[in-house]
Amino acid sequence: MENAFGQPQNVVVLGGSSDIAGAIMKKLCAARVHTVVLAGRNQERLDAAAAEAREYGATKTDTVLFDAQDPANAARTVSESFEKVGDNVDLVIVAVGLLGDQLAYENDPVLATRMIMVNFTWPAAALAELRRRLVAQGSGRILVITSVAAVRVRRSVYLYGAAKAGLDRLCQGLADSLEGTGVTLQILRPGQVRSKMTTGSADIPFTTGVNEVAENVVRGLASSERVIWSPPILRYVFFVLRHLPAPIWRKVMDR
């Protein structure tokens, strides 16, 4: 069970080799985590993440393989992960995502579809199954990683941004639908984070490391706020950016 500070004991991570999820798990394992099930597409990376979770204090770890390009496997992936936990699940982190190379995708219908599948359709399918299971359990928490790119989609990553925007909005409605069920959904909107997903990207203002994101998440879980911004100041930065006239927005973002 989760404790009064939002520290979980049993955790499922969908997108288990995500660097952000890994950094969050380090902190949660050091606090109260007992069992972790990591689901992802690369067994080697999952094993490494599981070993790290044990090193930081988890007693029991397991892994589940799936490919997020096929939303048909989402329900099975969730079921298998819950069965491997074998107890109430306190927290599910949805960290599935693909940034990719916008220039390669934007003129290719097949690749464009794949971006939407991985970043939106698969997570949406998984969330439906998560909702069903957690509501029956009467408790639990879902943390969905979207992005500040979802707040206002920018030219250089608009496919990724659009998919994340879809997921972010879906989560807003889902969170409302969970009121009174004992289940809570929180959205993590990080800015640019130094990780393998962003290797090669130049640091833009407010770029953070994964550890800082994890710190913001741990605080966010304790406070139960709907949207966790990382770094927190982006809440205000994007309030301004969101309202900029389009020509200025493009100028700012294309720099």
Residues designated catalytic:
160
Q: How many residues bind another protein (CB under 8 A)?
A: 27
**Cα atoms in the 13 Å half-sphere on the side-chain side of 116:** 10
| 51/136 with CB nearer another protein | 136
Q: Which residues contact 175 (CB under 8 A, 6 or more apart)?
A: 184, 185, 186, 187, 226
3-state secondary structure of 191: coil
Stretch that binds another protein, among 41-49, 112-120, 222-230, 245-253 (CB under 8 A): 222-230
Instruction: Burial-class residue 48 by CB neighbours within 10 Å (0-12, 13-18, 19+).
Output: middle
- In angstroms, rounded to a whole number, what is the distance separating the alpha carbons of residues 207 and 39? 27
| 99/228 with CB nearer another protein | 228
Say if CB 91 and CB 13 are below 8 A apart: no
Cis omega (within 30 of 0) on the bond before 231? yes
| 104/136 with CB nearer another protein | 136
What is the token pair recorded at 164?
């994340």
Pattern 164-203, another protein, x by CB under 8 A = ----------------xxxx--------------------
224 touches another protein (CB under 8 A): yes
Stretch that binds another protein, among 4-12, 17-25, 102-110, 164-172 (CB under 8 A): 4-12
2 touches another protein (CB under 8 A): yes
Question: Per CB under 8 A, which of residues 12..71 are in contact with another protein?
Answer: 31-32, 34
Binding residues for another protein, per CB under 8 A?
Answer: 1-5, 7, 9, 31-32, 34, 87-88, 135-140, 180-183, 218-219, 222-224
